[in-house]
Amino acid sequence: MSEFLESEDGEVEQQRTYSSGHNRLYFHSDTCLPLRPQEMEVDSEDEKDPEWLREKTITQIEEFSDVNEGEKEVMKLWNLHVMKHGFIADNQMNHACMLFVENYGQKIIKKNLCRNFMLHLVSMHDFNLISIMSIDKAVTKLREMQQKLEKGESATPANEEITEEQNGTANGFSETNSKEKALETDGVSGVPKQSKKQKL
């Protein structure tokens, strides 16, 4: 019991012997395999999105046959984003959406995935994960990014613009008969159809 008594001059602490260079075997908490010496400095438990999990996620999404390529791309980006930042709670989704637009907005615009992303946002709203205000903020941010990119594209070399004109496409849509498309009306309602070139 004497070791538990407090001494006034710290004698007990001086009596303890510390072993230096002890050989202990440590184990991974998730795999229960022994840690190798070179793994001692790296704390893998802090890693939320290990490489194997990212690859498996992408592979599983690619295996879906009932979704289009745009939906697959958005889901891959979204799942990797959620894994990287560790979003798990419903109340984090509003922030997750805004951060997603900031990080991947340009990629979404360049790959022409804006509509797929908006469908993803609407689906999240249907499940009460995000508010309409969050959808509005995300879409507004995406439109701002798109406008900045378009202003940047106007400064691109003229030969790129010529190739688009020769192909008759811009932003992936055909420009042929654009006046006719704008004037087309729906036979049932008599309401003018929306042009395919419409942004977001």
In whole angstroms, what separates CA 109 from the centre of its chain? 14
| Cα distance between residue 153 and residue 159, in whole Å | 12
The angle formed by the CA atoms of residues 153, 194 and 190, to the nearest 5 degrees, is 160
Confidence label for 27 from pLDDT (cuts 50, 70 and 90): confident
With 80 as the cut, is the pLDDT of residue 28 above it?
no
**What pLDDT digit, counting tens, does each position of 121-159 carry?**
999 999 999 999 999 999 999 999 999 988 886 443 344
pLDDT at 16: 54
**What pLDDT digit, counting tens, does each position of 96-125 carry?**
999 999 999 999 999 999 999 999 999 999
Could you tell me the residue ranges of all domains in the chain? 51-151
Quick one: tokens of 47?
A: 């890693």
| Cα distance between residue 144 and residue 152, in whole Å | 12
Stronger pLDDT, 150 or 176, i.e. the higher one: 150
Radius of gyration of the chain (CA): 28
